[in-house]
A = this chain, B = another copy of it.
C-alpha cells in the first residue's frame, strides 16, 4: 500500500479538553474520525508515533494507546511494522465507533444494556466445551431424537423436486398440521390464521414494527425473557414489569393511567414461564382475559414452553378463551425439539396474520423452505407424540436430579420452586451476594450460570438454573461445587 502522507505534514493543532465529562481517549477517537472522514487524512496516511501524539495532545501515552487500539479494533487504523500507525479504512469501519442508527443506539444503550452485556458474555462462553452449563435454555444434544429426525428428513428430502419461495404465510402442509395440533389445545384455527416465522423472536419483531406505535407501553412479567424485552425495546416500546405470584402475573398492577394514554399491550409467557417456571392457573387466565377484554388490552401469548409438561394437568393457552381476536399467540419448535430449524409461528385473526405476512415478506421473503418441509414431515408423524412423551419423562428425571441436589446442598442458602414443566428452576438466595462475582468464580470452576438480574427490571438475588442441557451425571457435582462457592458468602 502506498503511504500517501508523512506525519510531519499533518499539522495537528488540536488538543483534547480536560475539564469536560468525555474521557480524553474518546475525544481523541472523535478527532481522528473527523480528520479521516473529512478526507484530510486519506487511507495510507501515517500517524505520528504514540510518544509524539501524547506530547502533541498533552496526555499520557496510555491514553493515546487506548484510542489507537480501539480504532485498530474497528479496522480504521492499522499498525505497520517499522512504519508506525496508518489509516487503513475510511468508510464502513469508520461507521463502527459511532452510534449512528436506531439499531446502533439500541445496541449501545438502554435499560438493558448491562443485561445485554452479561447475556452476550454468557452466549459466547456457551460455545466453549469445558463449561458445565446450567445456564443454557436449550435441550441437551443427547435428548435429540436422532433416528426419528434423520428418518423423517430422508423422507422429506425424497419429496424435494425444487426449492422455491413458498406462499407468504409459509408452507401450507406445515400450517395445517400446526392448526391440527393447536386444536388439541382448544385453539380453533385454520392454516389462514397461522404465519410461519424464522423463530418466534422474529414473530415478536414483526408484531412490534407492524402493529405497535413507538412509545406503546408493553407490560411483561417481571422477571421475563430477555430476548423479547430487547426486541420490544429496539422497536421503541416502553417496557413495564408486573410482579408474579404462584398463580401467574398480577395483571391488576397495570397502571390505569396507561389505559387512557398509551394503549398498552401485555406480553406474557403463561405456561412454564422463562425464567421462573411459573404456570398461570386456569382461573388467573380467565380473570386476566376478562380484564384485558374489558380494558381493551391486546395480549401477546408466548407459548414456547407449553409442550414441556411433567405432570398430567392440561392447562389450555389463554388463546383458547379468545373469540374476539384479543390474543396473538406465538409458538416455536426451538424448545421442544431443536432451535436449528429456526421456525416459529404466529397465530391470530386472518386480517392481522395477513398484515404480518406482508411485513415478513419484506423482511426476508419467508423462512427456510427446507426447514418447513422437514418440520411438516416430523410433526405429521405419530412418532412425534411418542418423542414428546419420552422427552418429558427424561426432563422430569433431570429436574428431579437437580431438585435432589438442591435439597442436599442449598437448603441453608436459598429457596426454589418445583417446576411442573419447562426448563428452569428459579433459585432465590436468602441474602444479597455479589452475583457478578459469583458468576466469575463459577466460571473459574468451569460452571456457567445465568444471573437472574439479566431477566429483570431491577437487581434481584436470583439465579436461573437450567436442568435441560447439562448431562445427568454432572448435575450433582456441579451443584455441590456451586453451593461451596455460595457458602463462602454466608459465613
Contacts and interface: CB of A to CB of B under 8 A. Distances in A.
A366 interface: yes
A103 B198 contact: no
A374 interface: yes
B150 A160 contact: yes
Contacts of A364: 198-199, 201-202, 205, 342, 364
A84 interface: no
A367 B367 CA distance: 9
A340 B325 contact: no
Contact of A351 (B1, B73, B293, B328): B73
Contact of A166 (B198, B212, B324, B340): B340
Nearest to A161: B146
A364 B149 CA distance: 23
Interface in A340-359: 340-343, 348-352, 355, 358-359
A162 B338 contact: yes
Interface in A72-117: 73-75, 88-93, 95-96, 100-104, 107
Nearest to A325: B89
Contacts of A296: 37, 39, 90-91
Nearest to A88: B324
A263 B98 CA distance: 14
A137 to B, nearest CB: 11
B163 A341 contact: yes
Interface string A39-81: 1000100000000000000000000000000000111000000
Contacts of A43: 293, 324
A274 to B, nearest CB: 15
Contacts of A101: 208-214, 235
How many interface residues does chain A have, given as a range?
35 or more
Given A141-B162, A293-B43, A365 B352 contact: no
A339 B165 contact: yes
Given A141-B161, A162-B141, A95 B211 contact: yes
Interface stretch (A151-159, A178-186, A391-399, A438-446): A151-159
A369 interface: yes
A234 interface: yes
Contact of A365 (B39, B165, B201, B298): B201
A458 B364 CA distance: 26
B144 A163 contact: yes
A198 to B, nearest CB: 5
A352 B323 CA distance: 48
Given A201-B364, A371-B368, A102 B342 contact: no
A290 to B, nearest CB: 12
Given A100-B212, A150-B160, A371-B370, A298 B362 contact: no
A255 interface: no
B144 A162 contact: yes
23 contacts: A39-B295, A43-B293, A75-B325, A75-B349, A89-B324, A89-B349, A91-B324, A91-B326, A92-B328, A102-B209, A102-B214, A103-B359, A138-B164, A144-B162, A146-B162, A157-B157, A162-B340, A163-B339, A163-B340, A164-B339, A198-B367, A339-B365, A342-B364
